[in-house]
Amino acid sequence: MNISERNYTSVQPPPGAAVLFIIPGAINFIISLPTNAYTLWLIVNGPAGTKASELFALNMAVSEILNCLCSILAIVNSRIQIAALNLLVTFSFCFMNTGRPLFQCCISMERYLAVVHPVIFLKYKPLRYRLGCCGAVWLLVVGSGLISMLLNGAFIYNFVYLAQCIILLCVMMFCCLAVLKALKRPGPGDGDREGTNKTKSKAFRTILIIQVSMLVNYIPLILITSSSFLLNPMTQNISNTIGFSISTVTGVVQPLLYLHRVGKLPRIRAC
């Protein structure tokens, strides 16, 4: 995350702030890595239909696994300043900053279309459309990483990232409210069918959980970025570290949501 790296080399945070950086990175590696790896294994070894329908979840799991592996490099870089390693870490934050929210938006948009616009959903249900979306997202992820390397520490990148957060949050909010409206107002052919309402409720819960995790993830970053020009370097560095910590630990939400949905979490009834 470029914002978390801003002024890091020039202003070292106090020892307590380093703990806020290292502990979430370790939690991310210990908890998020195995849950995402298990999610990836379930999808890859599932039926062909599951692989197609869960393509966005599969790609997001790959992105989160890469992010988990790179979190170790971030921890090392926080203690040992090497120019090449700093660039690599700066690039690697694209998996968390761009890959995670874009794949979450793809999942939410898919649920939104399935509930609110089922005809359009069936039209674009073939695998080639999902593959096209995933390819476009990965291009954006790599492009975001390269841009963050080129603009490492540049003030303008913070506002580009701020715009990205606000746009994606608005898309997620729209999907959440649209599905809620469809849930409360059944369509002409829905009647009182329990199965239809159950499907809509499931889609709404999925979008709502993703929305809440994105709010927890990005609201602190939006506040920090929008007020960055008012903060002194030390305060900004500590604020960025706190924002990074929150963003890191929320990486476990999506795999747990998937494992819950497929009934792989103990003592939790699948949706």
Provide the residue ranges of all domains of the chain, joining segments of one domain with +: 2-261
Q: Is pLDDT of 43 > 70?
A: yes
Q: Which of 49-53, 171-175, 252-256 has the lowest mean pLDDT?
A: 49-53
> E-assigned strands of 6-146?
none
Q: Is pLDDT of 175 > 90?
A: no
Q: What is the mean pLDDT of residues 130-158?
A: 84
Q: What does pLDDT average to over the chain?
A: 76
CATH of 2-261, picked from 1.10.1660.10, 1.20.1070.10, 1.10.3720.10, 2.40.170.20, is 1.20.1070.10
Q: For residue 177, give the H/E element and its range.
A: helix 155-184
Question: How many angstroms separate the CA atoms of 167 and 269, rounded?
Answer: 34
Question: How many angstroms separate the CA atoms of 137 and 131, rounded?
Answer: 10
pTM equals 0.79
The position carrying tokens 């979190």 is 71
Q: What is the mean pLDDT of residues 42-62?
A: 83
**pLDDT at position 196:** 57
Dump pLDDT digits (tens) for 89-140: 888 888 888 888 899 889 888 888 888 888 998 888 888 899 999 999 999 9
Question: How many angstroms separate the CA atoms of 50 and 42, rounded?
Answer: 9
Q: What is the mean pLDDT of residues 160-177?
A: 83
The position carrying tokens 């202003």 is 11
Dump pLDDT digits (tens) for 179-213: 878 777 655 555 555 555 676 677 777 777 777 87
